[in-house]
Amino acid sequence: MKLPPGQLRRRRVVTDLSTPLANALEAELTGYMRLESQDALLLDGDGVGVLTFEDGIPVLAYHTGTDNGGAAALADIAVAGPHRMELYELDRHVLTEVHEEADLRVPPGLPAERLAGNSRLGERTRERAPGDRRHERSEGANELDAVEAFLDDEETIETLRERASEEATLRADEWGFEVE
């Protein structure tokens, strides 16, 4: 997925994606959110997550490291926080073509549920979505099924733990803590 830079509206490090997703919704942003893992900044970079919006409603999700799109990309992004979040505004016509990529599409409320664990924001986003998108749901799986699938993915969890341990060791040095 190729996107032009657009107009930077916000940039910050976030531990909880509820706030930026709610902000994008309230501002009815058309553009995209770029999510770079803080781990990637500290350790070796391994891609960024991108989430596009139309009038504040999420449309596509993509992860450049795994090349996953849609709900799978959200799962990649969800485990990678805290993030350096950048929010860009784009002209609507720039996104029209990109938004035709059916494989990358996500139901409106899913990013709030998967990335922030915030079902209320997910519901609010669904209510504000245009009529034809309001009833989009991810295939079959509800939120807790997705959590179970995450817990069944031993490889992803092992990687997450190894990276966190590596990060903690690097930071111990920086912060002057003893490592046992």
Partner 1 sequence: MVEVFAVASGKGGTGKTTSTLALGMALAAEYDVTVIDADTGMANILFHAGLSDVETTLHEVLAGNAPVEEAVYRRFGMDVVPCGTSLGGFREAEPGRLRDVVATLAERTDVILLDSPATLGSRSAVLPIVLADRIVVVLQPTIPSLSDGLKVQEYATTYGTDVAGILFNRVTDDEAIDRIATKAQRYFEGETLAVVPESETVRAARRASEPLLAHAPDSPPAESYWEAASALTVRPGESAAVADRFRSAVIPDDS
User: 136-175 mask for partner 1 (x: CB under 8 A)?
Assistant: -------xxxxxx-xxx----x--xx--xx-xxx-xx-xx
Residue nearer to partner 1 on the CB measure, 81 or 108? 81
Q: Output the smallest distance, CB 68 to partner 1, in A.
A: 14
* Burial bucket for residue 95 (CB in 10 Å: 0-12, 13-18, 19+): buried
d(CA 129, CA 136): 10
- Tokens describing residue 2: 């190729």
Reduce the DSSP state of residue 52 to 3 states and report it. strand
Q: Output the smallest distance, CB 159 to partner 1, in A.
A: 11
d(CA 162, CA 156): 10
User: 23-62 mask for partner 1 (x: CB under 8 A)?
Assistant: ---------------x------------------------
Q: Does 7 bind partner 1 (CB under 8 A)?
A: no
- Tokens describing residue 43: 């350790």
Which one among 75, 104, 106, 129 touches partner 1, defined by CB under 8 A?
A: 75
Q: Does 178 bind partner 1 (CB under 8 A)?
A: yes
Backbone angles phi, psi at 55, to 5 degrees: 50, 40
Residue nearer to partner 1 on the CB measure, 95 or 116? 116
d(CA 129, CA 151): 30
Amino acid identity of residue 75, one-letter, is A
By the criterion CB under 8 A, which residues form the site for partner 1?
13, 15-18, 38, 75, 78-79, 81-82, 113-118, 143-148, 150-152, 157, 160-161, 164-165, 167-169, 171-172, 174-180
